[in-house]
Amino acid sequence: MILLIDGYNLLFSGLGQSKDIKTNQLETLRDKLVTQLKSYNIRKKHRVIAVFDGDKTNTHYPQEKESGGIRVAFSQGNATADEHIINLVASYIREKPQRRDLCVVTSDRALAGALISNHVKIISSEEFAAELTAKNSNASPDLKEDPIEKFTGLKPSDVPKWLKIFEE
């Protein structure tokens, strides 16, 4: 399975990270996400490519880098991460026209719509974030990440249980 991840979409939609952050925090959040993806990939053994928007000046971000089996790509010039993902999918389809092993993680409807005709499986960022977090819950303590509830809040069905606990 080739897993193409809309990086910032996963961070901000799937993991619920606030968009009101400083540039230096963005690098830390990307690194944390890549660490989570490494842990996930140890179990899944997929080919994982996380794609992020680069800067328009091409001065700060490399086009690609490898980090522990996770390929991290940045869009270049005026291209967006969405365009980069579309180009990667097109390249993989040209390589093997009947392939059915492509999966894109995004909650971006425009991106998903552009890829659906290519028989690409789309997983929402929220769904993948839940799987990413669930897989990490069985990891050793040094690999375990914060629970998704820390970013998204409690589910309405969990509120009565916690109210009862705090009443005591």
pLDDT tens profile 64-97: 788 888 999 999 888 899 999 999 999 999 999 8
DSSP 119: T
Q: Phi, psi at residue 135, to the nearest 5°?
A: -65, -40
Q: In whole angstroms, give the CA distance from residue 113 to residue 111.
A: 5
**In a 3-state reduction of DSSP, which class is residue 143?**
coil
- Whether residue 149 has pLDDT greater than 60: no
pTM across the whole model: 0.74
Q: What HEC string does 34-94 produce? A: HHHHHHHHHHHCCEEEEEECCCCCCCCCCCEEEECCEEEEECCCCCCHHHHHHHHHHHHHH
- Tell me the CATH architecture of domain 2-167: 3-Layer(aba) Sandwich (3.40)
Residues 13, 107 contacting (CB under 8 angstroms): yes
Distances (CA, A) of 89 to 92, 103, 126, 154: 5, 9, 21, 36
**Mean pLDDT of the 123-131 span:** 93
